[in-house]
Amino acid sequence: MLTPSEMKDRTLKLVNEGNFIEGIYNYCDRWCEKCSFTARCLN
């Protein structure tokens, strides 16, 4: 099991390596099964 610090490090690594669209999840209907941006959504 990861410690909170390890989880934070992994999340930051994922954010920095990914090609995510910042905050895209704030502008959707949360219907991820039908979404074209799942690969670029950090949610």
Chain positions contacting ligand SF4, by CB under 6 A: 24-25, 28, 30-32, 35, 37-38, 41, 43
Asked whether the beta carbons of 18 and 43 are under 8 A apart, the reply is no
- The least CB distance from residue 12 to ligand SF4, in Å, is 19
Closer CB to ligand SF4, 8 or 38, in the complex? 38
- The least CB distance from residue 27 to ligand SF4, in Å, is 7
Q: Return the residue matching tokens 């219907």.
A: 31
In angstroms, rounded to a whole number, what is the distance separating the alpha carbons of residues 2 and 13? 15
